[in-house]
Every structure is written in structure tokens, then in C-alpha cells.
Structure 1
Amino acid sequence: MSYEENLTERDKIRYERQMMIGNFGIEGQKKLKSTTALIAGAGGLGSPLSIYLAVAGLGKLRIVDKDKVELSNLNRQILYGEEDINKAKAPVLEKALKKLNKDIEVESINCNITDDTIEELVGGCDLIADCMDNYPTRYVLNRASLEKEIPLFHAAVEGMNGQATTIVPGETPCLKCIVPNPPPSGKLPVFGATPGLLACIQAHEVTKHVVGIDASLKNKLLLVSGGTDFEKVEIHKNPECEECGSK
């Protein structure tokens, strides 16, 4: 990625408080402004993650989702209201994010993420944020991360529990190493604040990686129980992994 973006006077005022962080600074803000992120999913994780990346000044967000807003989404998908029911999620999220920060670029794509579409969807992106609710699609993102050699920021939730990790090809296990077999599919229970919590962790991980702050969840899986109990476990690459074992 290129870090040649210059900051405007608006940028310097808007992002002053985060640029005061010692290992962030002006150069870190320039890196954020020069970054393009693929946000895979515009639901419980994608909504809050997009908010925090937008207000942090990440240069371009590409939002991909095929679903429409449903009443049952509104306990957790915080950028949608009742007036958005039956509307396509991605364009609604794009409009909301542009209201939050007119200085960034937001692109919405209303389509499914598949092996046939991922090549075009990820083109020009510097990173992938996994905000999906199913593992078959997550594995598509994982393969794209490995092929393009760009990081994948994973999070998943169920009930009041969740997990997160940062996957960097060549440095960490891939998602298939961590979850070699998909759990049973189907509608899962979700407490609204849980995906918000995990999305905030994703936002920290994305920002730290782009800016170059070392502390991260690389080679660690963060487990969140009940929203308040946190445990980090070490994870290791599987040399026989069908996705990354030969790389």
C-alpha cells in the first residue's frame, strides 16, 4: 500500500486526539488514509466495525453484503432503523457511513461472496475484515487472504460469547488451521452488544496493523465469555493444513 496521502487541515483537527498517541502520530494517520479495507458482511459485526474505521479515517471502505434489513436484525445491527426494513443492507450502510465522515470513500456492493466473486471484490484492497456469520464464506475470505497475501481480521459471535484473531499470511495460522471443520450452520442466538464488543476489538486490530503498532492478536485467539471474561490462547500453524500447509 502507498503511504503518500497528505493530511488536510480538517484531518489534522479531526484526528488530533488519536494522533497524540505516541506510536500513532501523523505518519500513522497517513497510513490509515492510504488504506482500503474489504468489509465482508454488513450485519452485527460489520455495522460497528465500519463505524469505528470510518471515524478513525481509514481511507476507503468496501462494504459487501447481499442481504436486506429485517426486523430481527435490529437488536444488534446498529446502523439500521425500522425505516430501512426490506432495503439492501450495503447501500444503507454506505449512506450512513458517509454521514459520519464525508472525507473517506465508501463503496457498497450488493452481492454474495463466493469463489466466483471474491477475486473482483478483494481487488485493490489492503486487508479483509471477516464480519460473516457462516464458515463456508469465511473460508472463501481465508483463501483470498492467502492468495493475495493480505491480512484477515476474524471475529465470530454466539450468544454472549465470541472470538477474534488476526491472520497474517506467512506469519500466523490461517483460519482453516484454527477451525478446520465448520460448525453446524443455522440461526444462532446473539445478544446485541456482543458483536459490538468483538467489532471494537477488530477495529483495534485493523488500526494497529495498519499503523504499525506491534501488540496484536497474531498467533493468539482471544476468547470472550459472557462479554466480560477474556482469555488469550496461543494458536499454531498446522503443517498439514489444506489451505496454507504447503505455503
Structure 2
Amino acid sequence: MSRFLIRVMYDGTNFRGWQTQTSGRSVQGELISALRDLGITHPNVTGSGRTDAGVHSIANYAHFDYNGRMTTQQLLLALNSKLDSDIMITGIWQVKDSFNARYSATSRTYIYLLARERTPLNRLYTGYIPGKEIVMEDLYAMSEVLKGNHNFTSLSKNNPAITNHICNVSSFTIKEMKGKIVFKITADRFLHHMVRRMVGTMVNLSQKGLGVEAMKQILEEQNARQKLVLTAPAQGLYLYNVHYPDLTIEDYPYNHFLTN
């Protein structure tokens, strides 16, 4: 039995999320079904993390075990032939049996695409938050506040089962590009809805004429029901990359998705 790591791209529009659901399509469920079609009786697919309904992926990763005779390239082609057009495996590697797509990762990067205006053509692939003009200088200043090691209780979905809300945001960049604002965030871990709440709250504070001090107060209060906290729409969120320091993985042309 050998372990394989796959890189998965998907359009999250018609998925209920990553995790297998009792009803509706899931990315994990589609991959399991494809592996079954290749003759694996009880396939187990472990992802690097979960994405919610409507959230997209440029490069999510998952591992599974396989004892057949196909080469990695044959396995890649065979799996893609079983998948619908809104999901694609863009890379595959044989890894050590001890490798775990979730726990071997040291950080993850998300991007959020926020549209300056809503149109019928961008509604499924960008977020949009109506309101007053967004001041870019406000966003830049608040991103600096959010960098580093913080308790992100206020900027995550309330979940009593989660006791550790400390995350280290190692990189946070914001740029304007072709009618949209691109937020790019790297951290050692992310809490549920954390990126969407970071983006939504930053925009909300800017539109209300508030800024850095308000963001500092939100963090300090550690209250997931803080009134100024806003969750940005799922459609603008993309899992951009997962970082495995012990693996040499050729780069995917990620920047293509930031220039179109």
C-alpha cells in the first residue's frame, strides 16, 4: 500500500463544501467516488482542511492510500476522467506512509476577491459588500493590526468545542486589481469563517469611518458576537495554497488567478 498526495482545484459553487455530506455534493465525496470507480473498496481521503459551501480552491491538498499498479501519472489521468468539470486534480506525488495532508502542513494561504461592484458575471467568484466607499488606507492599516500572534475569537464563528483561538498570521497583503480588491493571508492555522470575518469586518469598519482602533478593540474583546463583525460572502474566498516544508512540490501558476 502506497500513500499519494494530490493537489485539487475546484469551483465551489455547486458543492456543499469539502467534507462528505449526508445529502448534496462534496469535494471529498466526489474524490472518494472516483477512487471507488478505480477499484478501491474502502477509500479514505484526508484533506488539508475543510472549505465551506461556495468556497473555491486553487490548491487544496489531500492524501489517500492505493495499492494498484498504475503510475502516478496514470493515476492522475484516471482520477480526472472520473471527475466532473468543476473539480480537477492538478498534481500528484507519492509520499511517505507517515505523511498527513492536514497535520504535515505548517501554514495555509487564502485569497479573498472583493468586487468593487456587483455584476451578474462576477457574483459566483467574488464577494461584494454594499455600502459607502472603501478606503484602501484603512484596509492597509488594519491588516498590520491583524498580523502576528493573536486571539481571533472575535473574528471566527462561535464554536464551544474550539478552545484554542490563537493563530499566527505571518503575511497579509492587500492590493487593487482590475475592479477588485485582493486580500492574501497566510497563517499557521485558520478558525472557522476567520478569513471571511477578517475581510468583512475590515470593509465594514472602513465604510463606517472607523479604523485601526476599532479593529484593536474587536480583537481585545474576544467576542464572536461583536456587533461590528461582518462575515464576507463565501463566493469570494479561495484556498490558495498549503505549505509542506518537507516536500518539494513544483509551483502551480497561482498568479494567473490574480490577474484575470
Give the TM-score normalised by the residue count of structure 1: 0.24
More strand by share: 2
More helix by share: 1
Q: Which has the higher contact order (CA 8 A, sep 6+)?
A: 2
Larger Rg: 2
Give the TM-score normalised by the residue count of structure 2: 0.23
